[in-house]
Amino acid sequence: MAAAEPYKEVPEIAGPLYERVVALEPANARALVGLASAYWLTGRGPEVVGQIAERAIAADPTNRGGWHMWALTEGDQRERTIRWRQVSQRFPEDDLARAALADNAASLAAAEHDKEARALALAEFETLLDRATDLRQREAIEQALITIKGWAW
């Protein structure tokens, strides 16, 4: 794991290192998440990455990275939104999961003119705005809210 750390942003190097750790420690959730991430970034695809993410979750249900990879690998927009909602409910303080939920709900709302997804996106962005302390982050969230509130179908 220590050998992979400096290369976590270089998946072509980190992947084989995580493969070795996973071969030695098949229930190492951190290594599984690292492997899933490296595979995702090198284009291995959602099926393979999703299976690894599920292994990480089974090994350690508190590992947020496993849950993030699991949600990310869902191909269907509606199902992916549902997954991000599950992750956000499991980890209520996880603003990255909340942002992914808001973004996926907004995408679903825009694509399907889904009023429930629109309401979900608005609620999640409002929560993120309440929590945001960085000015640039607040401005981005405010712009998203203006855009979504402007949708009239």
pLDDT at 97 over 80: yes
pLDDT band at 75 (very low <50, low <70, confident <90, very high): very high
pLDDT at 126 over 80: yes
How far is residue 104's CA from residue 113's CA, in Å, rounded to a whole number?
13
How far is residue 1's CA from residue 20's CA, in Å, rounded to a whole number?
9
- Do 153 and 82 lie in one domain? The reply is yes
Last residue of a domain, one of 48, 73, 98: 73
- Do 67 and 93 lie in one domain? The reply is no
Q: What is the pLDDT of residues 25-56, one digit of tens each?
A: 999 999 999 999 999 999 999 999 999 999 99
Say if residue 143 is exposed, middle or buried (CB neighbours under 10 Å; 0-12, 13-18, 19+). Answer: exposed
Query: What is the structure's pLDDT at 4?
Result: 77
| Residue span of the structural domain in which 62 resides | 1-73
Question: CATH number for the domain including 42?
Answer: 1.25.40.10
- Do 67 and 102 lie in one domain? The reply is no
pLDDT at 119 over 90: yes
Cβ contact 24:4 at 8 Å: no
Of the candidates 59, 12, 15, the one whose C-alpha atom is nearest the C-alpha of residue 35 is 15
